[in-house]
Amino acid sequence: MAEIEIWCVDVDEVKFSKAKSTEAKHESITHLGGDGWKLTAGEVIEQIEGKVNTYYVPLAKRSYVRVINGSNGKYLRAVLIDFGMEYPCDNLFALGRCPN
């Protein structure tokens, strides 16, 4: 299983701007990308759940991407890991948008 660095995130701008909760904002993620790759959120979810790859955000402190079972289905969320505890964070939204 490879650890893959995420450099960019695309969101559904309409859903993101109307989102009233953190969960709804994360549900608006459509694509993630990095050095020479871009995948849909669904593809990343499949890879994480299938233990094919893990994904992380390389900001000040590395955060790992987890699959969350939300009220409207599965979505991706970054978490900081400290002393074995996972803390949700919004690091994915600190990344820029992916180039076309």
pLDDT by position in tens, the chain (length 100) = 899 999 999 998 888 888 888 888 888 999 999 999 999 999 999 999 999 999 999 887 789 999 999 888 999 999 988 888 888 888 888 899 998 7
Cα angle vertex 78, ends 13, 20, to 5°? Answer: 40
The amino acid present at 4, given as its one-letter code, is: I
pLDDT confidence of residue 30:
94
Number of residues assigned to the chain? 100
| Phi/psi-derived region of residue 83, left when phi > 0, alpha when psi is between -120 and 50, beta in every other case | left
Residue 66: per-residue pLDDT? 94
Domain ranges of the chain: 2-94
Tokens found for residue 85 = 């505890």
Identify the pLDDT of residue 8: 95
Record the pTM: 0.89
